[in-house]
Structure 1
Amino acid sequence: MAKSIFDQLSHAFEIPLSNPVLIFALILFIILLSPILLRRIKIPGIIGLILSGVAIGPHGLNLLEKSSAVDLFSTIGLLYIMFIAGLELDMNEFRKTRHKSLLFGFLTFAIPIGIGYPVCYYVLGYDMLASIMISSMFATHTLVAYPVVNSYGISKNEAVAITIGGTILTDTAVLIILAVIIGASQGQLDQQFWLTLGISFAIFLLIMFGIVPRVAKWFFQKVEGEKTAHYIFVLSVVFFAAFLAEIAGLEHIIGAFVAGLALNKLIPHSSALMNRIEFIGNAIFIPFFLISVGMIVDVSVLLNGPLALIIAGTLTVVAIFSKWVAAWFTQLLFGYSSSQRQVIFGLSSAHAAATLAVIMVGFRYEIIDENVLNGTIVLILVTCIVATLATEAASKKVVLAGDQDAMPSEKNIAREEQLVLPIANLNNMESLLDFATLIKSKHSPHPITVLTVVPNNEMAEQNLQRARKNLDSTAKYASGSETEVNMMATIDHNIASGISRAAREVMADGILLGWPSRPGIIEKMVGEKTESILNQTDTNLFMCHVDKPLVLQKRIVVCCPPLSESELGFDYCVEKIMRLSQELTIPIQFVCDVRTKQAVSLYIERNKNSTRVLFTDHNEWDDLATLRSAIKDNDLIVFISARQGEVSYRHSFDGIAKKLGKVYVQHSRILIFPSRRAGYSLDEYEDVSAAPILQRIGRGIGNMFTKDRR
C-alpha cells in the first residue's frame, strides 16, 4: 500500500511535470510569490516573472516544457498586453498636444532606428531584416515609470503629455513595420504584397473603427445589467480583432492593439469593466506570457562565449543612448528645461511589453536568434531600472521648480474628499455609484459613504435591518470596480435631516442624489425631500438622472447661468465635470455668458486640464426651452443651479428639477447646486417638516414684487 502511494507520488512529480493540475498550481505559486520576493531587492515584477520562467523552463530546472496549454495562455497574455496598451492611452492628453506629440513620436521612433540599424548591420553583423526588426524594437517604449510622475503630481506637465501621446505613434509604426518584415521574411515583398496589405489594412481599420464601436455601444446599452457579459464581449472583440488582423496579413498583436484603441472611449479608466479587464489580465494571462518568455531563454548561451554578452551589452547601450538623443532633440525643439528632458527620457527609455511582443514574433519566425532574445531580456531589466531612477530624479527637480499640476491647497482638498451617496431606490444605486466612482478624486483615500435613512417610527428596527440588507447588495456591486464604500444606516424623524446630519458627520464635499420623483399631495403641501435637503445642507449637491450608460454620451453640455462662477463651490463642480469628461473621453460644451467663460478658461489654464472645451454664448435663462439649440441627442446635460438667496439664484430656478425633467425628458441630466458658506440658511426651523410651507408663501409674495434678474 505504502509502495503504491510512493509510486503515485514519484510518477506525479516526474520531471518535466505532466500533471495539468500540478503544472497550473506551480505557475500560480510563481505568479504569487515571485513579485513579492523580488520586490525587496528592487527588481521589477516583469523581470521577476521572466527569471522564474528561466528557472523552471527546459534550460533551467526543466520542471516544465512548452506545451499547447502553455502556448495558449501565452498567446492570450501577449494579446492582452497589446490590448491594454491601446486601452490605457489617454486620448484627451494626445488631442491637447497632438502636434508636439506627433513630432516627439517621430523623433523617438526615427532616431533609435537610425542609430540601431547601422550598429546591428555593421557592428553585430546581422542581415537587413534582422537589423530592421531589432532597431524597430529600440523605437518602442513602455510607460513603466508613469506611476512615478503621477505620485509626484506632474502627470499634467507638457513633457509628460507629449511622451504619452508619442506612444501611439511609435507603437503603431513599429507594428506596421513588423508586418512588412514578416512579409519580407516569407519572400512576399512584391507589388502584390503592398497592394494586398494596403487594401486589407484599410478594410481592417474600417471594421475596427467604423463598425466595432457602434456594435459595442449597442451592446452596452441593450445588455446594461449583465456585467459579466460586458467582459466576455470585450474579450471577444480582442480575439476577433486579432483574427481579422491575421486574415489581413498582419500580426495578431496589431489587431489586439487596434481593439484597445477602438474601445478606448467606451471603457472609462475608473469603471468596473476596466477594473475586471486589468485584474484578470494582471492576475493570470500576462504573468503566464512572461513566464513562457522566460522558458524560451537559455542563460547558458551567455556563458558560451563573449559574443552573447557583447550583443546584450550593445543592445542595452544603443537602446538607452538613442532614447536620450531623442529626448535631447525634443528639448531643443520645444525649449524644455533639462529636468523636463530627463522626464521625457525616463518615461520613454523603458522597454517592456511592446518590445517583448516584437521580439517574440521575430523569434517565432526565426528572423532573430537566441542571442538577441537573451540580450533583450537583459535590455528590459536594465532599461526598466534606469527609467525608474531617471524619472524619479527628474520628477523631484520639476517639483522643486514649482511646476506641479495643482496648488498644494487644491491637492490637499482632493486628498480629503468625501462623497455621500444616499440610497432611497435600489434601481438607481448602480448608476449613482458608477457616477460617483468616475468623479471621485484618485488622490482621496476616503471611501464613498453609502447612506440609508430610516424613518423613526414603530417599524424603525425592522426597516433598519432591511436597509442594511439592501446596503449589502450595494457593497457587492461596488466590489466589482474595487470601489471602497462605507455603509451607513441611520434612524431619523425626517429623511432630509438624517441625510444632512450624516453629511456633516463625515464632512462631505458632495452629496449625490437620484433625480427627484413626482411629489404626492402631502409632499406638495409640506415641501419635497430634495428641497428640504437643499435647505439643510451647505455642501455641493448633485441630482442625477442617468437612464443609459454614460459611455454612450457624445458630449457634456454644461449650462452655467450668469454669476454661477461666483458661487463658493463652482470650482469644485467644474473639476468634477472635467474629471467625468476625461474618464468618458468626450468634449465639454459650456453654455454661458462672457464672464463665466473667462472664469472657466482661467480654471482650465490654472489646472492644465487636457479636456476639449468649447463655449456657446447664451443670455436667456428664464426659459429653459431656449437651451434646446445648444443640445443634441446623446448629450449629457449638466445644469449648474443655485440655492435660494445665493448670488446666481433666479426665481425661474424654483422647481428647476421638474422643469428640466419635463423639457429634456429623453436626455440624461445632472443638476448641480454648488456649496455655500457654512451656517447660512433661510430657514431657522429646518427640522420642522412644515417649514417649507412658510418658504413657499414667502417666495410667492416675493415673486409678485421682484423682477427676475438678468
Structure 2
Amino acid sequence: MLPLMFIDFTLPFTNPVLKFLLILIIILFAPLLLNKIRIPHLLGLIIAGAVIGPFGFNLMERDSSIVLTGTIGLLYIMFLAGLEIDIADFKKNSGRSLIFGLFTFCIPMVLGILASIYLLNFNLLTSILLASMFASHTLITYPIVSKLGITKNQAVTITVGGTMITDTLALLVLTIIVGLSAGSVDNGFWIRLGLSLTLFGAIVLILFPLLGRWFFKRFHDNVSQYIFVLVVVFLGAFLAETAGIEPIIGAFLAGLAMNRLIPRTSPLMNRIEFVGNALFIPFFLIGVGMLIDYRAFFKDFETIKVAIVMTVVATLAKFLAALATQKSFRYTADQRRLIFGLSNAQAAATLAAVMVGYGIVTGHTETGEPIRLLNDSVLNGTILMILITCTIASFATQRGARNIALSTASESSPEAEKNQPAERILIPVGYPATAEELVQLSVTIKSKSNRNGLYALHVVPNAATTGDDADRQGRRVLERAVMTAAATDNEMQELLRYDSDIANAIVSTLHEQKITDLILGLRPEREGEPPVPFPSATIDNVLTQNHITTLIYKPVQPLSTAGRLLVFVPDRAENELGFALWMRRVWNMSRNTHTKVVFYAPLHTLSHIRSIHTRHPIEAEFHEFNDWNDFLILFRDVRANDILLAVLSRKGGPSYHKSMTAVPDYLSKYAPSNSHILLYPLQPCDPRHHDLNNPSLLLP
C-alpha cells in the first residue's frame, strides 16, 4: 500500500481507485441533492458529468473506461426497453407504433431539412444528415417510467415501438449518406444492405430465443445466467453493427427476443435491473455530461446560432410528433407529455451521426484545412442540443409519468382493494430440488401489491425418530426458499413444523395463518424408484381437508422457458365461487412471464373468459372444447415447451365431472416432458371468501 504522499492527486485523476470512488460518490449523492430542488436524477447525473469532466473542473477525462461502461449503459437502456415491453400490447398497438414512428421521423426530417437549408445555409447532403439527427432519439428517460411502474401504459408501448422505427430509419439515412459521400451507392449497395438487415433480424429474433431457452433449461447458476444475458446483449449489438446499423437497435431486438424467457418477477430480471440502474446506466449519463463544452459558445456567434436552431427545431419537431399522436389516438395530455418526454432526448444515435458526419471530409480549403460534412459549429451545437433536450425530456417524462401513476393508483386502489381479501400464499417445501420452482410459481401468480404474504412451510415428520439431521435439512430447505423469494424483492416467512402427519400439518397451517392459496409440489423422481404418483396420497389428503384455491405443480422445466400456457377449463367453471380468483392467478402468470395463454372451454364458459379478456387484455387464444370424456384429443395441440394447466373441481363442485379423476394420469402419461399444474378452485365452505366471484378482482 502506498503512503498518501505518493498518491498522484494531479488533475485529471489517473488513479483508477480514486476515479471509481468519485463516480460512485456522484451516483450516490447527485440524485439525492438535486431531487430536493425537483431536478430529475437522470439530469443530475448529466450535470455532474459536465462538472467533473474535461470542460468543467477537469477531475476526470472521458477515457476508454468511461466510454466502455457508458456504452454498456446505453445498450442496457435499449435492452430493458425491449425486455419490459408487453408483447401482447406491442402486437396490438403495432399499427399505432408505426404511425408514431413515422410522425417522429418525418416531421423532424422535413423541418430539419428546411431549417438547415434556409436558416443555416447548408447544402442538401448536410441538411439531410442533420435532419436525421433530429429524427432519432434515445430512451434516456425510460428508467423514470420503469421506476414508477407504468411501462405497460399504451403511450409507453407505442413510444418504445416507434423509437425502434425512427432510429432504424435515421441510422439508415446515415448509412446512405456515408455511401453517397464515398460514391459507393449502387445496386450492389442496396442488395447488400437489404440482405444484411434481413439476416440480422432473423438471427436475433429467431435464433436468440431458441438459444436462450436451451441455456436456461440446462444452466441454473445465477452468475452464468446473468453473464449469458450480457453475451446476448452485446452479440445482438455487434450483429447490428455488422449489418450496417447502430448497436442500440441490436440491443433492443435482443430484449424483444429474450422477453418471454426472463419473467419480470424472476430473480434474473431483478439482477438485470439492479446492476443496470446502479452502475451501467449512471455511467452512461455521466459520460454524456462529460461531452458538454460550455466554452464553445463563447468563441463565435456561428456556434451559438447553430446550437439554437438545432435545439429549437429538434424540440419543436418532437413536440409536434407527440401532439399529432395525441390527436390521432385521443390520448390525454399526460400521455402526450410522456410520449414527448421519452422521444425528445437526443443522445446515442445523434452522437453517432455527428461523429460520423464530422469525420467525412468533402474537400480542403486553400490553406489545406479539411472541409467536413458537419463542421465544428454543428459538433458543438449537438452537445448543447443533447443537454437541453435531455433536460426538457427529464422534466416532461417525470411530470407525465407521475400523473399517470397517481391516476392509475387512485383508480385501482380504494374500492377494489377494500373488497379483496388479504392474499396469503402457502408453499410447503420438502425438497431442495423443487423448492426454487415452487417459490417461483408463487411469485408469478401473486398480486403485485403482495410483498409479505408468502409463507414457506417445512414439516419434520417426527423429531424424536429423525433427529437433528432432519431439522437441519428442513431449515436449509426453508432458507433456500426464502433466498429465492428475496432475489425477486419479495419477503417470505419461514414456518417449521413437527408432525407425524404431513397432510394434517399443512391443513392446520392453512387455518392458523389464514392462507388463501396453496401451492403443492411432488417429491423429485429418484433413479431406481417407481414414478411418483401425481397427485400423491398426501396431496389427496390435503385436498379433501381444505377448500381454498389449490395448485399442484409438477415442474419439468423452468417456468421462464415456457412457450405457452394451455388452460383446460371444464363446463360450468364460471359457476364456481373461486372462478375470478383462479382467473386472476392465470392472468398474473401471463403478465409476469409474457406467456401466451390458450384456453380450451365450452362456448358459454369461453364467453365469460372473453368478457374478462376484453377489460383486461393479455395475449390469448380461445378454443371451444366440450367433452371431457374425450380429454385425450387435447394432446394433439401440445408443443414441447407448453405448460399444461387443468382446472379441476372437488367432488360436489358445480363444475365437477367424473372424468376429472383420470386427468392427472393423462398428463403424466401423454405429456411427460411438459410441466403440469392441477388447479382446484375455492369451494363455498370457506366463509372468508364470500365475494370472490367478482370479475373486478382481476384488477392488478
Q: TM-score range by the shorter chain?
A: 0.7 to 0.9
Find the residue that maps to 1:556 and give its secondary structure.
Answer: strand
Identity, % of aligned positions: 32
Kept in 1: contact 2:442–2:519 (CA 8 A):
yes
1:13 to partner: Cα distance: 1.4
Q: Separation in 2 of the partners of 1:66 and 1:185?
A: 30
Q: Which residue of 1 aligns with 2:569?
A: 560
1:518 to partner: Cα distance: 9.4
1:641 to partner: Cα distance: 0.5
Q: 1:49 to 1:80 in 2, by over 3 A?
A: same
Q: Which residue of 1 aligns with 2:369?
A: none
Deviations 1:355-393 (A, max 9, x none): 321122134332441222122112111221023224444
Q: Separation in 2 of the partners of 1:172 and 1:645?
A: 59
Q: Which residue of 1 aligns with 2:355?
A: 364
Find the residue that maps to 1:458 and give its secondary structure.
Answer: helix
Query: Which one-letter code corresponds to 2:567 in the other structure?
Result: V
Q: Which residue of 2 aligns with 1:689?
A: none
Q: Which residue of 2 aligns with 1:636?
A: 643
1:262 to partner: Cα distance: 2.3
Q: Separation in 1 of the partners of 2:503 and 2:253?
A: 49
TM-score by length of 2: 0.85
Query: Which one-letter code corresponds to 2:388 in the other structure?
Result: V
Kept in 2: contact 1:120–1:134 (CA 8 A):
no
Kept in 2: contact 1:105–1:169 (CA 8 A):
yes
What pairs with 1:222-371 in structure 2 (closer than 5 Å)?
A: 222-223=218-219, 225-302=220-297, 315=310, 317-334=312-329, 336=330, 340-351=331-342, 355-365=346-356, 366=358, 367=374, 368-371=378-381
Find the residue that maps to 1:238 and give its secondary structure.
Answer: helix
Query: Which one-letter code corresponds to 1:626 in the other structure?
Result: I
Q: Separation in 1 of the partners of 2:99 and 2:62?
A: 42
Q: 1:6 to 1:666 in 2, by over 3 A?
A: closer
Find the residue that maps to 1:268 and give its secondary structure.
Answer: coil
Q: Separation in 1 of the partners of 2:556 and 2:489?
A: 23
Q: 1:283 to 1:415 in 2, by over 3 A?
A: farther
Q: 1:656 to 1:413 in 2, by over 3 A?
A: farther
Q: 2:6 aligns with which of 5, 8, 20?
A: 8
Deviations 1:471-528 (A, max 9, x none): 222333334333332222223453223222333344333211114789999x99xx92
Kept in 2: contact 1:417–1:509 (CA 8 A):
yes
1:313 to partner: Cα distance: 5.6
Residue 454, structure 1, aligned to residue 452, structure 2: no
Greater displacement, 572-581 / 459-468: 459-468
Query: Which one-letter code corresponds to 2:638 in the other structure?
Result: I
1:637 to partner: Cα distance: 0.8
1:602 to partner: Cα distance: 1.2
Greater displacement, 545-554 / 640-649: 545-554
Q: Which residue of 1 aligns with 2:33?
A: 37
Q: Which residue of 2 aligns with 1:52?
A: 48
1:423 to partner: Cα distance: 0.3
Residue 532, structure 1, aligned to residue 541, structure 2: yes
Q: 1:280 to 1:175 in 2, by over 3 A?
A: farther
Greater displacement, 495-504 / 120-129: 120-129
1:264 to partner: Cα distance: 2.2
Kept in 2: contact 1:90–1:164 (CA 8 A):
no
Q: Separation in 2 of the partners of 1:238 and 1:353?
A: 25
1:87 to partner: Cα distance: 2.2
Residue 378, structure 1, aligned to residue 399, structure 2: no
Kept in 2: contact 1:221–1:548 (CA 8 A):
yes
Q: Separation in 2 of the partners of 1:6 and 1:659?
A: 74
Kept in 1: contact 2:345–2:390 (CA 8 A):
no
Greater displacement, 454-463 / 542-551: 454-463
What pairs with 1:139-154 in structure 2 (closer than 5 Å)?
A: 142-143=141-142, 146-147=145-146, 150=149
Kept in 2: contact 1:640–1:672 (CA 8 A):
yes
1:617 to partner: Cα distance: 1.6
1:537 to partner: Cα distance: 2.3
Residue 487, structure 1, aligned to residue 510, structure 2: no
Q: 1:108 aligns with which of 98, 104, 113?
A: 104
Q: Separation in 1 of the partners of 2:77 and 2:676?
A: 36
1:408 to partner: Cα distance: 5.2
Kept in 2: contact 1:363–1:373 (CA 8 A):
no
Find the residue that maps to 2:347 and give its secondary structure.
Answer: helix
Greater displacement, 454-463 / 669-678: 454-463
Kept in 2: contact 1:111–1:322 (CA 8 A):
yes
Kept in 1: contact 2:596–2:619 (CA 8 A):
yes
Greater displacement, 412-421 / 68-77: 412-421
Residue 135, structure 1, aligned to residue 141, structure 2: no
Q: Which residue of 1 aligns with 2:602?
A: 593
Query: Which one-letter code corresponds to 2:332 in the other structure?
Result: R
Q: Separation in 1 of the partners of 2:159 and 2:180?
A: 31
Q: Which residue of 2 aligns with 1:424?
A: 430
Q: Separation in 1 of the partners of 2:551 and 2:179?
A: 56
Q: 1:319 to 1:484 in 2, by over 3 A?
A: farther
Residue 219, structure 1, aligned to residue 228, structure 2: no
Structure 1, gaps ≥5 residues long: 682-710
Q: 1:387 aligns with which of 383, 391, 397?
A: 397
Q: 1:112 to 1:532 in 2, by over 3 A?
A: farther
Kept in 1: contact 2:430–2:458 (CA 8 A):
yes
Residue 667, structure 1, aligned to residue 674, structure 2: yes
Q: 1:593 to 1:272 in 2, by over 3 A?
A: same
1:578 to partner: Cα distance: 2.3
Q: 1:341 to 1:179 in 2, by over 3 A?
A: farther
Q: Separation in 2 of the partners of 1:91 and 1:445?
A: 26
Q: Which residue of 2 aligns with 1:688?
A: none
Q: Separation in 1 of the partners of 2:56 and 2:597?
A: 56
Q: 1:569 aligns with which of 556, 573, 578?
A: 578
Kept in 2: contact 1:107–1:330 (CA 8 A):
yes
Kept in 2: contact 1:82–1:354 (CA 8 A):
no
Q: 1:577 to 1:32 in 2, by over 3 A?
A: same
Greater displacement, 426-435 / 137-146: 137-146
Q: Which residue of 2 aligns with 1:621?
A: 628
Residue 94, structure 1, aligned to residue 103, structure 2: no
